[in-house]
Structure 1
Amino acid sequence: MTNVVELIPEADGAKLVRPSHRVYDHGTTLDGEKLRPGVWFHGTKRDGEDGEKPVNEWLCGPLYVDAVTRSDSQEADYGLLLRFRNQDGRWLTWAMPSELLAGRPEAILSVLLSMGLKIAHRHRARVVAYIADQEPRKRITAATATGWHGPELFITPTGNIGKGEAIYQAESAADGDYGKAGTLEGWREGIGALLPGNPLLQLGIGTALAGPLLQPLGIHTGGGFHLLWDSSNGKTTVVQCAASAWGHGVHFTLKWNATANGMEGIAALRNDCLLALDELGQADPRYVGDVVYSVADGIGKQRAGRSSAARKVRRWRVMLLSSGEVTLETKMAEAGKRTRAGQDVRLVTVSAGRTFGAWDNLHGHQTGASLSDSLKRASAIHYGHAGPAFVLALVERGELGDLPAMLEAIRAHFPADPGQSARVAERFAIVALALELAVGVGLLPMANGEGIASMVELFKGWQAGRGEGPSEDGQILKALADFIDRHGGSRFQSVEAGSDEVRDRAGYWENTPTGRLYLFTRSGLEEATKGFDPSRVVRALDSVGAIAKRDRGRAQASKRLPDGSNPKLYWINPARLEPDG
């Protein structure tokens, strides 16, 4: 770093006053004693009747405290910027939160040791004391979250993009698997050049680049797409190619089997970026729905800190790209849970079945498998360049303030009814915007407008597969149809006199000239549509005209039964529950 005030002078600098610490970048000699590079404590000890005897103790490798870090408000997030040389001779930095000094030394030492600082084991606690005692004059802004910090600075755990002085500060050295290898040109040739004619690959790369657009667009929550198809068709390759925009194609891609807490941690590290997940089938069906809500909504759980006081809640904005052989609905059903519309909208299922596996244009390859293999190799050789290059281009062009108007213009290509469909349309439009911007800055070798056309095609495919109306309607109607199919002959009793009693009765049935009707009791209807409010169920039934009879002002109608009772029941026509009913 530049303009750093070094607090600890070299041995040939100011006169040594004991007791004190000094840092030596190179080996030196002091009073005839050879000293290895590192932090030394120069003290004294009593030596019998002769008085004090000088003592020199080596604590660790070269380690400086260069600056105090803190938030722009100068009221929170205080820390210390450590700079040290590890065992391979590399100079590394860590912005250490000062709150770690309130706990046991191991919290600090474990990070330094993992980054390669050599520490004298018997003096390890004194290394932390040395750090705590320093009082650097320099001040630097601490960034406790990745992503945008103002309109010209984007921060990742591995470095800054754009203009401005701030440093990422965290309790650990975790880098979120951001990384670089190869070249940007190699990525463009190995992955970017294969985008034309391949809408799914465009969706993947566009999703990876859309994360940095959320904050300038004023969108405070995320969401994403789930690629669904059979195994080995190339959908995982799409996810790995998307991941390669920010890190190693395989390593930046996580598995769905991570814990909910672990997913929160990685989502926070991917703020304003991409969360790539593979194999939805490996997720825990009990919690996967909650994970989708949490990741998309960008807020973690409230937890207590070391002092039992509430800790700051983690927040993030991410674009999510997932793949798997099952849908979110199927996975949640394994635990007896039902998806809600909010989950469907947050993680939009996109069919990954194309002409050749996940591909439409093989670009000279003989098979889809050959194309997949080539893309996977490229994602592990040339990676970590496209995302930062895209952000840098956005900063240099200075057009972040124009993005909302650009999105509105592209949004016009995605006609959708208000509500859930409109939210999904907006997400596809954001991806289309990312693609068009990347083409405009020369990052992606595609024709202008192709990204928009491809996303419109995928959006229309989603609309066709989903059907009309809110997705809750479809779920409710399907649940009722399934319940009647399973229990129509066993848990519904005929309204005719002398009919046999049934166990666990959910209602009655009555034959009419137009077909059989099922008269649900309130408890039977609630059981069949578990998880939905009764009023919401009625709205879904009304949307298809499935309530065959009702008393004035009610969703139910009375029915005189042979036993003399006159209960109010929901008269449902099962023919209306079918999609073509």
Structure 2
Amino acid sequence: MNNIVELIPESGAASLKRPCFRVYDCASTVDGKKLKAGVWHHRNKRDADGSLTPVDEWLCGPLHVEAVTRSESKKADYGRLLRFRNLDDCWLTWAMPGDLLAGHPADILRVLFGMGLKIAHRQRARVVEYIAEQSPQRRVTAATSTGWHGPELFITPIENIGTGDAIHQSETTADGDYDKAGTLAGWRESIAALLPGNPILQLAIGTALAGPLLAPLNVHAGGGFHLLWDSSNGKTTAVLCASSTWGHGAHFTLKWNATANGLEGIAALRNDGLLALDELGQADPRYVGDVVYSVADGIGKQRAGRSSAARRVRRWRVMLLSSGEVTLETKMAEAGKRTRAGQEVRLVTVSAGRTFGAWDSLHGHPSGASLSDALKRASSQHYGHAGPEFVRKLIASGDMDKLPTMLESIREHFPAATGQQARVAERFAIVALALELAVGVNLLPLGSGEGTRSMVELFKLWQAERGEGPSEDGQILKALADFIDRHGGSRFQSIEHGADEVRDRAGYWDGTPDGRLYLFTRSGLEEATKGFELARVVRALDSVGAIARRAQGKHQQKKRLPDGSTPWLYWVNPAPIWPGS
């Protein structure tokens, strides 16, 4: 049966060539019969005497298959661009992935029902048949990810920013909580106007605007910041304000207690944008470290599809902004895990304790709480404009290819010695660049250079709180100091003749005029620094001069013990590793 759709937008239609599908946008008269708006299947039924009787079946409300969607390569991601009128007379579109046609009709109908298309229940399977048989001439690029699609087109689930015939295509109608309300002017007056003199708020807004810079800067992975301080000081408010650049402050902000799979899905929808998470204390301590790695590195887990074949791995680039009353280290410690330096530099802890809660300038408000309340209200009244406007101005500027040079210029303000510090410095510099660009296009009412100065201040505070050297060094030395503090008198045996033996011995101790030296066995040192490679532990001890004695070319030295044995031992002087030494 060759069912060809005819689009009949006006009342009164040409004669039919049955069988066929037809779409009527309003009530029409066909073969003398008045039909209501919608998709109709016109066919003939053969009677017992062999004669044909016309049959007209209403399938659903007006539904047009307007284009074939596919990837720019024309080799994948084929689908159909549907436009239909729902129960509230609103015209909606859905770029439907073509592979849904290979599954059960319910996969498609579930979405259409959810979006409000009225469908005849007995004809629901035929609605999918109608969609499958249409072959429109128009071709549209299917964007299976949000964010940049070329230098002149940025796509979110709710809009295209820039130029290009493309549309976001997804199996569901999930929009990543992108939304708009109020006005850009209202957002500038109620939120942006309070940026001067408030570094934490500048960090939040800058982080929200930095996401679209990652791709032009050729930064393949994201990362972000964790605002840390006591309850009710305004740090969550700063996160809500950041979210308001792309959507409703409270709705665009998620909680850390979301599942890892759920966060992967939302991160993919926020590609080249912002992922805002509140209340780190609610996260599952067993998996939070892995989530930080996954979100910052921009790659999801490999999963099998229904046929056991590997599904396409989700990928994204996002800037992460978090808040909470605990650090990532404290949260992971609840599950007996230790943070790695890679996690710490991916989610940089920034102290949000300032003069008035999270604020330094109250802008006429009587208290920090009053300022926070005003910002919270504003984040739910004027939202979803600043982020798209920033991207629009970025495209119009024609300066996309100059962004790496601009970043290098700003990066010079962030001195960093180690590789880990350099990575954090770059992230602060990207935020500073976003702020300076937004000021340059009159989106933010900051003085030229204030955003950079504020980010340099926060970076230096982070450096001071973290201390010098690689992060792992501090963790290793602290673990050793804690182990000696707990077990120095119970699990280390004196090297003197006649000394009492100890249970679960981790090593020996030798008295010197300057105090004890702890002679760790290999297993004892590994236990004390569980989670770190032994070579990495030795490097940390070396960095502070804590290895007291060693044989040439080795990190250990032999010691003759009372029983006549001469094991190789690690001679550790605890003085350089004690906190504050």
- Band of TM-score, shorter chain: over 0.9
Identity of aligned residues (%): 76
Matched, 1:348 2:359: no
Matched, 1:131 2:140: no
How far 1:46 moved relative to its partner? 2.9
Partner deviation per Cα, 1:164-187 (whole Å, 9 max, x = no partner): 111111111000000000000000
How far 1:578 moved relative to its partner? 2.3
Q: Distance in 2 between matches of 1:441 and 1:330?
A: 41
How far 1:132 moved relative to its partner? 0.6
Name the SS of the counterpart of 2:17 in structure 1: coil
Partner deviation per Cα, 1:227-265 (whole Å, 9 max, x = no partner): 000110000000000000000000000000111111111
Aligned ranges 1:133-532 → 2 under 5 Å: 133-532=133-532
How far 1:222 moved relative to its partner? 0.2
Kept after mapping to 2: 8 A contact 1:71/1:77: yes
Moved more, 38-47 or 374-383: 38-47
Name the SS of the counterpart of 1:508 in structure 2: strand
Matched, 1:69 2:84: no
- Corresponding position of 1:116: 116
Kept after mapping to 2: 8 A contact 1:23/1:64: yes
Q: Distance in 1 between matches of 2:120 and 2:530?
A: 62
Q: Distance in 1 between matches of 2:492 and 2:6?
A: 84
Kept after mapping to 2: 8 A contact 1:221/1:297: yes
- Corresponding position of 2:563: 563
Kept after mapping to 2: 8 A contact 1:6/1:64: no
Number of residue pairs matched by the alignment: 577
* Residue identity opposite 1:226 in structure 2: H
Q: Distance in 1 between matches of 2:170 and 2:299?
A: 18
Kept after mapping to 1: 8 A contact 2:14/2:30: no
Matched, 1:35 2:35: yes
Q: Distance in 2 between matches of 1:14 and 1:216?
A: 53
Partner deviation per Cα, 1:544-575 (whole Å, 9 max, x = no partner): 00111111111111111111111111111111
Q: Distance in 1 between matches of 2:580 and 2:339?
A: 23
Kept after mapping to 2: 8 A contact 1:6/1:66: no
How far 1:308 moved relative to its partner? 1.8
Partner deviation per Cα, 1:489-540 (whole Å, 9 max, x = no partner): 2222222222222222111122111111111111111111111110000000
Name the SS of the counterpart of 2:197 in structure 1: coil
Partner deviation per Cα, 1:269-296 (whole Å, 9 max, x = no partner): 0000000000000111111001000100
Name the SS of the counterpart of 1:257 in structure 2: coil
How far 1:32 moved relative to its partner? 4.3
Q: Distance in 2 between matches of 1:6 and 1:563?
A: 96
Moved more, 525-534 or 245-254: 525-534
Q: Distance in 1 between matches of 2:426 and 2:458?
A: 13
Matched, 1:8 2:10: no
Partner deviation per Cα, 1:458-513 (whole Å, 9 max, x = no partner): 00000000000000100110111111112222222222222222222111122111
- Corresponding position of 1:95: 95
Name the SS of the counterpart of 2:477 in structure 1: helix
How far 1:31 moved relative to its partner? 3.7
Kept after mapping to 1: 8 A contact 2:13/2:29: no
* Residue identity opposite 1:152 in structure 2: E
Q: Distance in 1 between matches of 2:122 and 2:489?
A: 78
Kept after mapping to 2: 8 A contact 1:68/1:80: yes
Partner deviation per Cα, 1:127-156 (whole Å, 9 max, x = no partner): 111111111111011111100111111000
Name the SS of the counterpart of 2:215 in structure 1: coil
Kept after mapping to 2: 8 A contact 1:7/1:136: no
Matched, 1:44 2:56: no
Kept after mapping to 2: 8 A contact 1:206/1:431: yes
Kept after mapping to 1: 8 A contact 2:15/2:31: no
Moved more, 43-52 or 559-568: 43-52
Q: Distance in 1 between matches of 2:491 and 2:105?
A: 65
Kept after mapping to 2: 8 A contact 1:7/1:65: no
Q: Distance in 2 between matches of 1:102 and 1:271?
A: 28
How far 1:579 moved relative to its partner? 4.2
Q: Distance in 2 between matches of 1:147 and 1:263?
A: 17
How far 1:33 moved relative to its partner? 3.6
Kept after mapping to 2: 8 A contact 1:268/1:314: yes
Name the SS of the counterpart of 2:178 in structure 1: coil
Q: Distance in 2 between matches of 1:488 and 1:87?
A: 75
Q: Distance in 2 between matches of 1:506 and 1:104?
A: 63
* Residue identity opposite 1:214 in structure 2: L
Q: Distance in 2 between matches of 1:282 and 1:454?
A: 30
Q: Distance in 2 between matches of 1:450 and 1:151?
A: 28
Structure 1 residues 554 and 128: alpha-carbon distance in aligned structure 2, compared to 1, 3 A threshold:
same
Q: Distance in 2 between matches of 1:565 and 1:50?
A: 108
- Corresponding position of 1:85: 85
Kept after mapping to 1: 8 A contact 2:84/2:93: yes
Moved more, 45-54 or 525-534: 45-54
Kept after mapping to 2: 8 A contact 1:521/1:568: yes
Kept after mapping to 2: 8 A contact 1:560/1:567: yes
How far 1:351 moved relative to its partner? 0.1
Moved more, 319-328 or 549-558: 549-558
When the two chains are superposed, the root-mean-square deviation of aligned CA atoms in Å is 1.3
Structure 1 residues 57 and 153: alpha-carbon distance in aligned structure 2, compared to 1, 3 A threshold:
same
Q: Distance in 2 between matches of 1:121 and 1:496?
A: 90
Name the SS of the counterpart of 2:119 in structure 1: coil
Structure 1 residues 418 and 307: alpha-carbon distance in aligned structure 2, compared to 1, 3 A threshold:
same
Q: Distance in 1 between matches of 2:333 and 2:14?
A: 72
* Residue identity opposite 2:225 in structure 1: F
Q: Distance in 2 between matches of 1:576 and 1:171?
A: 58
* Residue identity opposite 1:25 in structure 2: D
Name the SS of the counterpart of 2:276 in structure 1: strand
Q: Distance in 2 between matches of 1:418 and 1:14?
A: 77
Partner deviation per Cα, 1:51-96 (whole Å, 9 max, x = no partner): 2222111111111100001111101111110111111111111111
Moved more, 113-122 or 202-211: 113-122
Partner deviation per Cα, 1:32-58 (whole Å, 9 max, x = no partner): 443221111112223332622221111
Q: Distance in 1 between matches of 2:247 and 2:162?
A: 19
Name the SS of the counterpart of 1:251 in structure 2: helix
Kept after mapping to 2: 8 A contact 1:239/1:321: yes
* Residue identity opposite 1:425 in structure 2: A
Structure 2 stretches lacking a partner, 5+ long: none
* Residue identity opposite 2:37 in structure 1: P
Name the SS of the counterpart of 1:49 in structure 2: coil
Name the SS of the counterpart of 1:8 in structure 2: strand
Moved more, 483-492 or 248-257: 483-492
* Residue identity opposite 1:191 in structure 2: I
Kept after mapping to 1: 8 A contact 2:6/2:21: no
Q: Distance in 1 between matches of 2:30 and 2:532?
A: 78
How far 1:450 moved relative to its partner? 0.3
* Residue identity opposite 2:7 in structure 1: I
